[in-house]
């Protein structure tokens, strides 16, 4: 074991572990999820115009073959 008087910083971290370990971990997780969401939305916005063009051209082809 460790002596509290020889390692006061470690004793403080262990006494207040929710504030020193858990809260920063949750904040980092939220930041990572926000960055992943922004990256995902950026990919969707880049692909969306191509999907619209593909769907419009497929509708035109379908209408041309049925006419």
Helix and strand numbers, DSSP H then E, in the chain = 3, 0
Of 26, 24, 2, the closest CA to residue 14 belongs to 2
Q: What is the pLDDT along the chain (67 residues), one digit of tens a residue?
A: 567 678 888 888 888 988 889 999 999 999 999 999 999 988 888 776 666 666 656 655 565 566 5
User: How far is the CA of 50 from the CAs of 15, 46, 54, 57, 60, in angstroms?
Assistant: 55, 8, 6, 11, 15
CB 4, CB 11: distance < 8 Å: yes
């Amino acid at each position: 074991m460790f002596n509290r008087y020889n390692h006061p910083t470690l004793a403080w971290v262990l006494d207040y572990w929710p504030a020193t370990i858990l809260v920063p971990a949750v904040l980092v997780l939220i930041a990572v999820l926000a960055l992943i969401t922004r990256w995902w939305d950026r990919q969707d916005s880049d692909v969306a115009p191509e999907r619209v063009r593909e769907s419009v051209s497929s509708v035109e082809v379908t209408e041309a073959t049925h006419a």
